[in-house]
Every structure is written in structure tokens, then in C-alpha cells.
A and B are shown apart, each in its own frame.
Chain A
């Protein structure tokens, strides 16, 4: 589908538009963090602790007097970065796996057994186990989450590859003598873009939630790093005194994940009939 028409169609669904808008705002804020915030997120001011939202502290302060607004905006950087790298990593690894399993008959069974094994554990448990093995750090959280989400992508990519492999134009290029590597790269992969893009947006959303969950449980990044999850975790004991310290980071998590999901829905609806045309 040509791009202008695609965007026009996307704009027809208002909720997708709203979701995209929200994400845009969050992304811009995250990028421009030093300029839109008045306070340093690490600055403690014990005298100002647990203050409710005022003109000076838009969202109030947390238990150490740190400005909540600044922490959330800077936290967006961490959370979005972790989620983005996770999504990209899972998509790249999952696509490679799924392509191999779907295209080469002999690799299918062994690769899918590995995938099945990984998917037999619930996401969070697997993530916790991996972080426990690897140790808590930003990179390890990303690595663990990539391993958790790769099988999901692999399955979807494999399913589409199985269908594509049987299509007549693939047989036609095989008959021409085109090399297998080129067939995979030039003929199969472009047709996988739709399911891959959909998976990308969903994993992005899951990763936000997963990172928050892991950090909340204390098995994510180190508590010093200001991600939304650590914020909720750290401030949780004070929630009954000053509800905003968990409310606002929580809302940030919810809005971001929800917007990503809605955007993913919209992208999928847009691209689905296109996939049907090929398969």
C-alpha cells in the first residue's frame, strides 16, 4: 500500500491518532529532558520530601524530595530505551530464527523445539530467572527480555514463511536459479514486514511493562537507575501517605504501554489485508 494512502487510512481511526500523539509527546519530552525539566532527577532535597503537586513541582516530590516530573521525564529515556532495544533485538533474533525454521524443512523441528521450550515458561518468571543468572544491570535486562520475546516473533515469522515458501513466485525464482540467500532476503523478507512491524509494536509495549514489573520486584535494573519501575518500587512504602508518588509513574507506564498497543493494533489492521493479498 503506498505510503500517503496508508497514512490517510491510519488517520481515519481516531484512537490510533490519539495513541500516536501521546507517544509522540512522551518521546519528545524524553529527548528534550534536560530542557523541559527544572530539576535534576537525582537531586535530593530532604526538606521537600513527599510534597503534593504545586506550581514549582508539577507532579510533587518523592520520598527523597526529588522532583517527580523530572524523574518521570528522565525515566522515560531509560524505559523507552530499554523497551526499544528489547523490541529490536527480539525482532532481529526472532526473524532470523523464524526464517530458518520456516524455510528449511530440516531445521524446522529442532528450532521449534527450542522455541517451545522457551515459551513453556511464563514471561516474567523466565525474565526473573535470566536476570538472576546474568546479574542486575541495564544491558542484562535487555538481554533477558530479548530472550523472552524472541520465541514469540520466531513463531509468527515461521508461520508466515511457511505460507510464503509455497507461493508460485518463489517457485518461479527458484526455477530461474536465484540463490537461496537472495530469495530469503529479496523475496521472502519484504513480505514479512507486516507481521514483523506488528510484533515490533506489541513487544515494545510488553517490554515497558516487563521492565517495570522486574524493577518493581527488585530484579530489574539497579534501584539507583530512575526507570518508572524502580520509581514505583522505591516509593511504594510511602504510597499511603502520598499517593502521587506511585500514581504518576504508574500512569506513565500505563499510558505508554496502552498507546503502543493501540498503535500496534492500528498498524496491524492497516497491513493485514495487504498480507492477505499475497498469501
Chain B
């Protein structure tokens, strides 16, 4: 068990949007830590708050309550200029490779701006060299620097986005569904790229995704979210082999396995995801949970460490543990 202080610590984070009397509770009391060098997966469906968490951690969206600590320092307490300078250490890769680049800027300008913002590669000729290095690092060629974003495919634009994030020499990168907009055959290229870069540069990643297969491949630990709250946290292999939370089990069961011979498990979940403006009382998952009882509506289950490194928010854990693993 790693006892070193975590690189990132999120404590009781809440991010609400909209009117104060009936807000959209996008993130509703989420806590987790990320160790240096670790890749933490954040999984959930619509309304889970995973994207908002990523943005809240980087202060791209202001939190409503709670704290985000980077190396023990409260990011929310920083003033504008120190926060701006700290951004070189905390970067993000976006989901939409088409919209995340300014269509009027050449790639060289995009990367040069990133470098100039944090005073990197300022010597004569250093900038162009560094731009060429960054492009090669992500699998593109130096001559691509002269082109505009629309001249590239989705996969290539995502690589450019990664190059931009790496230009400022970050320690920590939030990857907000970086593969969702890409074709399947390109996804595996980008997955390999991320894994390579992570190893070479010693990056810490917060990997946000709804695709459980990718999370299983890339992440060390996983946080399962539903309607702004944490349902379960576990090491990847433990989560996928033996999920404890009913929601996690349902998510795993719902994945279509690309093999016609594997019997599909019965779709256990009925009903729709409730609106984050009107979350159910008590456990937010109880409206769709096959194990729900009256007590589930009374209080929000606490996130408890049921085994070393394994956290679960469910009062029915004994009933679930009795049943065979799904």
C-alpha cells in the first residue's frame, strides 16, 4: 500500500450549476486521491459528473464546496496569477478533437503559444526544435506544423491536442473521454500512445471514460460514479473480477462482448437515469437497484473502506456478498 502523500487529493467536492434553489448537482460530495505515477479511471454514464470532476480539479469550472489539493496545496485558495502559472503542471486532453483547436491557427502557432505561455524554449531556434520534438513524440511529422487543424483527421487532431498538453511539461493530465470521438481502429493507436507517453514521461493520469474496456486496459484504479456520487473505488483487476456495488455490476453486465459465443447476461437495469436536478433521496441509485430496500431511501450511504484500497457506498453489502459474484 502506497503511503506516500498523494499528488492529487479531492475532498468532498461539490459542483452545482444553475439556480441555487434547485441546482443541477453535477458533483455531489466526491472524494478520492491519486498517487504520483498512477492512472485513475473515472467511469460513469450521463449525469455521473465525471467530466465536471475533471474540470473542477483543474479549476476550469469553479467548485461549489470541497477542496482539491495538489501536492497538499489547496488549488481553490490560489489567486489568479499563481493558479495560471501552476497550470503548466496540470493539463487536460479533451473529448472533441475537432472543437478543441482554434481553426484559424497553424499547428506551429498552437504549440508555440503553449511554450511561450510558460516561458519554455525561449532561446533562438529552440522553439522550432521543441515543436518538432513534440510532434514526433505524438507520432506526427515536423512538417505538419505548417498546416491548419482542418487538414488533419480526428485521430491526428487528438495527437495535436496531446502534444499541446505536453508542451508545457505537465505532471498530471486529465484525459476527458479522449477516445470517444475516434474510430475504433484509431482508438487503439491513441491508447498505445498514451500508454507510451505515460511511461516515458512519468505522467499521472485521471482517465475519464464511459468505455469500461479501455479503462480496464489503461487504469490502475477505478472510481465508479453515479449521479454525482461515488459508488465504488477499487483496483482495476479487483473491480472487474469481483465488483461489489450493484451499479458496477450492472455496468459490467451491460457491456456487449465482441464474441457471439459468450452468452449476454440479462440486462439487469430497468428505468432511466434520474435527473441531477432531482436526485433520489438517500442512495441515488436506489430507484434502479435490484437490492434496494426502504432503508436505502433514508440516508446517503457512506463511502467505507471495506478492504484495503476498496471503497464501497452501499448498505446492502452483506446481501450482495452472499450472492455469487456477477
Contact = CB atoms under 8 A, between A and B. Distances in A.
Same complex:
yes
Interface of A: 167-169, 171-179, 182, 186-187, 190-191, 277-278
B60 interface: yes
24 contacts: A167-B99, A168-B94, A168-B96, A168-B100, A169-B100, A169-B101, A169-B102, A171-B94, A172-B94, A172-B100, A172-B101, A176-B113, A176-B114, A176-B168, A177-B84, A177-B85, A177-B87, A177-B88, A177-B117, A177-B168, A178-B117, A187-B102, A190-B104, A191-B104
B239 interface: no
B87 A169 contact: no
A278 B149 CA distance: 12
Q: Which of A172, A174, A179 has the most CB of B within 10 A?
A: A172
Report whether over half of chain B's contact residues are helix, strand or loop; otherwise say mixed.
Answer: loop
B118 interface: yes
Contacts of B96: 168
Contacts of B114: 176
Contacts, number: 51
B92 interface: yes
A179 B84 contact: yes
A196 B261 CA distance: 62
A156 to B, nearest CB: 19
B176 to A, nearest CB: 10
Interface string B95-123: 01001111110000000011001100000
Given A168-B94, A172-B94, A191-B104, A178 B113 contact: yes
B91 interface: yes
A153 B4 CA distance: 57
Interface in B114-135: 114, 117-118
A178 B99 CA distance: 18
Interface string B75-88: 00000000011011
Contacts of B91: 175-176
Contact of B118 (A167, A177, A187): A177
B228 to A, nearest CB: 21
A174 B58 CA distance: 10
A142 B164 CA distance: 46
A194 to B, nearest CB: 11
A203 to B, nearest CB: 25
A249 B220 CA distance: 80
A175 B58 contact: yes
A175 B92 contact: yes
Contacts of B84: 177, 179
- Taking each of A174, A176, A186, which has the highest tally of chain B beta carbons within 10 Å of its own beta carbon? A176
Nearest to A171: B60
B52 to A, nearest CB: 13
B99 A169 contact: yes
A110 B190 CA distance: 47
Contacts of A174: 60
Contacts of B113: 173, 176, 178, 182, 186
